[in-house]
């Protein structure tokens, strides 16, 4: 993996707010991450943590009139796309970054044939290719029979629809595929099939992947590195094996306990107490502090800097439980992988 080339995707301290009737909501609060060519990255968080907002921000898909990137930068293959207008975005989506969404039925046009929906991507991004032939190739790539080109979405099963949606994204010939909860709407067997397919495709096409999920099991099997996001802030990140081996942030620890179905002293399932915070409040401190079993006085007052944990320097956390590093900025840069 070459570290000279700019990462295919990089977010630097991105803050994004939504304007709502009830006031401004800060969906992303200084979120940073980097995805390098060919890498598989997991972005983990519970509902409302801002992970889908982050994914959509990368393609300029958040509603133009009600959302705004207040601070930070988004770079795609080194190109700053933070302030693109909608017209400029039209020329920038699909390649090099394409996206598949959560619910494959509602995200496919119900009255357009599958083949046509794939062909639109081809015509947009590879106009010199013979479209029909290429549609067949792409269907084969996602292991669907060529006859499905003439089918409508409602005629397909959930797993087939997710494959079709994947073919639509792959037709853009992306170098990075963002998969926003691609298996959440599917049953367990189909989930495994789709994940295996994603892994094969990534190897076959040498494409990077940003996998957004609330399911830690998926991340452990599919991703090399992961970021844990909470209330629009990235709280912990690192190589999957390091984070899984020794989760540092109390939130991550709680997630793992919940995922492993640990029991507490009374024999009840371990859960993270409390509710995700109301993003309308602009809290100064760590957003997890109100729910954190180890919260201290400083947690409420300010957000801690970045601390590298573990030996390899490939695992970092933002938490007052870990003494801040001397040169936080440099360390952060190292860990983000620039």
Partner 1 sequence: MRRFLLARLGWAVPVILAILIVNFLIIHIVPGDPIQALVGDFPAPPGYADQVRHEFGLDQPVLTQLGLYLLNLAKGQLGFSFANRQPVLGLILERAQFTLLLMLPALVAAALLGIVMALAAAPRAGSLYDSGLTALSLVGFSLPIFWLGQLLVIVFAIKLHLLPAQGMFSLRTRLTGWSYGLDVLWHLVLPMFAVTIYYVAIVARVARASVLDALSQDFVLTAKAKGLSSRHVLWRHVLPNALIPVVTVIGYNFGYSLTGAILVETVFAWPGLGNLFITSIGNRDYPVLQGIFLLTALAVVIANVATDLLYAALDPRVRATRFRHA
Question: What x/- string results for residues 176 through 215 when contact with partner 1 is judged by CB under 8 A?
Answer: ----------------------------------------
Minimum distance from residue 84 beta carbon to partner 1 (Å)? 13
**Residue (76 or 309) nearer to partner 1, CB:** 76
Binding residue for partner 1, selected from 141, 160, 165, 248, defined by CB under 8 A = 165
| Rounded Cα distance, 31 and 71, in Å | 10
Q: Which of 14, 16, 81, 168 is the binder for partner 1 (CB under 8 A)?
A: 168
State the minimum distance, in angstroms, from the CB of residue 95 to partner 1: 7
Cα–Cα dist 115/102, whole Å: 20
Determine, following the binding rule CB under 8 A, whether residue 154 of this chain makes contact with partner 1: yes
Contact pattern for partner 1 over residues 67 through 96, marking x by CB under 8 A: -------------------x---xxxxxx-
**Per CB under 8 A, which of residues 91..150 are in contact with partner 1?**
91-95, 98-99, 101, 103, 106-112, 117, 120-121, 124-125
Q: Give the residue with the Cβ less far from partner 1, 149 or 169.
A: 169
Task: Tell me how far CA of residue 166 lies from CA of 8, 138, 233, 297, in angstroms.
Answer: 20, 9, 29, 47
3-state secondary structure the chain: CCCCCCCCEEEEEEEEEEEECCEEEEEEEEEEEEECCCCEEEEECCCCCCHHHHHHHHCCCCCCCCEEEEEEEEEECCEECCCCCHHHHHCCCCCCEEEECCCCCCCCCCCCCHHHHHHHHHHHHCCCCCHHHHHHHHHHHCCCCHHHHHCCHHHCCHHHHHHHHHHHHHCCCCCEEEEECCCCCCCHHHHHHHHHHHHHHHHHHCCEEEEEECCHHHHHHHCCEEEEEECCEEEEEEEHHHHHHCCCCHHHHHHHHHHCCCECCCCCECCCCCCCCCCCCCCCCCCCHHHCCCCCHHHHHCCCCCEECCCCCCEEECCCCCCCCCCHHHHHHHHHCC
Which residue, 13 or 137, is less far from partner 1 as judged by CB? 137
What's the closest the beta carbon of residue 172 comes to partner 1, in angstroms?
A: 6
Q: How far is the CB of 21 from partner 1 (least distance, A)?
A: 13
Residues in contact with partner 1, counted by CB under 8 A, come to a total of 35
Q: How far is the CB of 88 from partner 1 (least distance, A)?
A: 12
Q: Which is nearer to partner 1, 205 or 295 (CB)?
A: 205
Mask: binding to partner 1, 13-52, rule CB under 8 A, as x and -? ----------------------------------------
Query: Which one, 22 or 87, has the nearer CB to partner 1?
Result: 87
Of the listed pieces 168-176, 184-192, 284-292, 311-319, which binds partner 1 according to CB under 8 A?
168-176
Q: Which is nearer to partner 1, 109 or 241 (CB)?
A: 109
In order of 19, 57, 135, 205, 308, the CA distances from 51 in angstroms are 18, 10, 31, 25, 23
Contacting positions for partner 1 (CB under 8 A): 56, 59, 61, 65, 86, 90-95, 98-99, 101, 103, 106-112, 117, 120-121, 124-125, 152, 154-155, 165, 168-169, 171-172
């Amino acid at each position: 993996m070459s570290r000279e080339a700019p990462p295919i995707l990089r977010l630097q301290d991105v803050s994004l707010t939504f304007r709502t009737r009830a006031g401004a909501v800060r969906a992303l609060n200084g979120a940073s991450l980097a995805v390098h060519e060919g890498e598989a990255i997991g972005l983990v968080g519970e509902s409302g943590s801002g992970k889908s907002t982050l994914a959509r921000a990368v393609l300029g898909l958040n509603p133009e009139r009600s959302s705004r990137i207040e601070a930070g930068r988004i770079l795609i293959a080194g190109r700053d796309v933070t302030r693109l207008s909608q017209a400029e975005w039209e020329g920038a989506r699909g390649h090099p970054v394409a996206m598949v969404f959560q619910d494959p039925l509602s995200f496919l046009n119900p009255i357009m044939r599958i083949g046509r929906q794939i062909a639109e991507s081809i015509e947009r991004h590879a106009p010199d290719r013979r479209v029909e032939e290429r549609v067949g190739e792409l269907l084969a790539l996602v292991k669907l029979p060529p006859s499905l080109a003439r089918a409508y979405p409602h005629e397909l099963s959930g797993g087939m629809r997710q494959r079709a949606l994947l073919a639509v994204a792959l037709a853009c010939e992306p170098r990075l595929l963002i998969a926003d909860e691609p298996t959440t709407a599917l049953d367990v067997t189909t989930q495994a099939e789709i994940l295996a397919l994603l892994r094969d495709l990534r190897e076959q096409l040498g494409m990077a992947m940003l996998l957004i999920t609330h399911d830690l099991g998926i991340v452990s099997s599919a991703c090399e590195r992961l970021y844990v996001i909470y209330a629009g802030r990235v709280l912990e990140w690192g190589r999957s094996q390091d984070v899984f081996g020794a989760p540092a942030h109390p939130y991550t620890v709680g997630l793992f306990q919940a995922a492993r179905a640990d029991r507490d002293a009374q024999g009840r399932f371990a859960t993270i107490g409390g509710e995700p915070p109301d993003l309308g409040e602009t809290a100064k401190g760590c957003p997890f502090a109100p729910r954190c079993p180890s919260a201290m006085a400083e947690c409420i007052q300010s957000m801690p800097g970045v601390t590298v944990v573990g030996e390899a320097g490939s695992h970092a956390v933002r938490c007052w439980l870990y003494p801040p590093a001397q040169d936080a900025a440099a360390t952060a840069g190292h860990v983000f992988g620039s």
